[in-house]
Amino acid sequence: MNLSKNIQTIAKETLYKEAEAIKKVADYIDDEFEAVVNDILSMKGRLVITGVGKSAIIANKIVATLNSTGTPAMFMHAADAIHGDMGMIREEDMVMCISKSGNTEEIKVLIPLLKRTGAKVIGLVSNEDCFVAKHSDRCIRAIISEEADPNNLAPTTSTTVHMAVGDALAVSLLLARGFTSEDFAKYHPGGSLGKQLYLKVDDIYPKNELPVVQETDLVKASILVISKKRLGAAAVVNAQNELVGIFTDGDLRRMLENHDDFSSLTIGEVMTSNPKTINTGEYALRALNMMRQYDINQLIVVDQQNKVVGFLHISDLLNEGIV
C-alpha cells in the first residue's frame, strides 16, 4: 500500500473537511429555508423526496427521519418517476428534489412534469447556478467548496451536508409541531428505544408474585415467603398495611453474620428500613435508572396511598429488552 499519508491522518482530514462544510452551510439557513418549513407545515398532502444516485440514498434517509418525527413523507426515485412512479404525486403534495449539481438529467426532465401536477417543487442543491435552483418554487442551498476525496469527485462532503440539512429540516418541523417524546414513542413501538419511551411499571409488575410480610412475623416464616415467591426479597408492612421496610438476601446474609440464633427474631428487627419504591404509572426506564443509581436489584411498586402493589426486579427489565 503506497500512501503519502497514514490512514489515521487521512480519516481525520476527511472528518474535519466534512465537519467544516456542515458549519459553513449553516450560513445558508435563511428566510428561504424558513419558508420551506412553513410550506411543509401547511401542506395538505405529503412531502415526496426524490433524487438519483447517492442523492437517492440521502433522500431515503431524510424520508425515514421525517416519518418518524411526525411529517408524512415518501421516497420517489427520479429515474422511476419518469417511467410511471409520478402517479403517486398529487396536487396537494410537495416534492423535494435533491441534487448536488442541480443539473442531473433525470431531475431536469422531472421538474417540468411535476409542475404540471400542481405540486410545489423544492430544491436541495450544492450549486446556486443550476436548473433546479432556477425552476423550483423554493430552493435550499447547501453549498460546498469541495468533496472530501483528493480528486474532488466522490460524493462525500456533499452527501454529508445534504443529510445534515435534512436533519435540520426534520428537527425544525418537529419543534414547530410540538412533537413530544410520547409522540415519538407512537412511531417507535418496537425495540429497546420504543420500550424506553412507552413501557411502564404497570406493564410488568402484575406478572410477578407479591411477597409481603408483617414486621412482627418471625424471620423463619418470612424466609419461606421469600423462597416461595422467588424474587429474593419481601416487602415489610406494619399492622396498618403501610410499607416500613424490605428484607432481601443481603439482609439475610447480614443477619446470619450477626446472630447465631434467629429463632425468635422478627423480620422488623433485621429488615432494611425506608426501602426504595416506585409509583404505579411511572415509566420502566425510570425504574431502571433508579436501580442503577442505588445499585439495587429490586424496587417495590406502591400506589398513590403508598400501599404495596407489586415488585420489579432487574431481570424483568432485562427480559423486556430496555437495558
Q: Quick one: 259 exposed, middle or buried, by C-beta within 10 A (0-12, 13-18, 19+)? A: middle
Label the pairing between strands 277-279 and 298-302. Answer: parallel
Taking phi first (over 0 means left), then psi (-120 to 50 degrees means alpha), and beta for anything else, what does residue 57 get?
alpha
Cβ atoms within 10 Å of 144's Cβ, excluding its own: 23
User: What's the Cα-to-Cα distance from 86 to each of 104, 119, 237, 300, rounded to whole Å?
Assistant: 17, 11, 69, 58
What angle, rounded to 10 degrees, do the helices at 284-294 and 191-198 form? 90
Give the SS3 label for residue 273.
strand
313 is in an annotated binding site: no
- Residue ranges of the annotated binding site for Zn(2+) are 77
- Residue ranges of the annotated binding site are 77
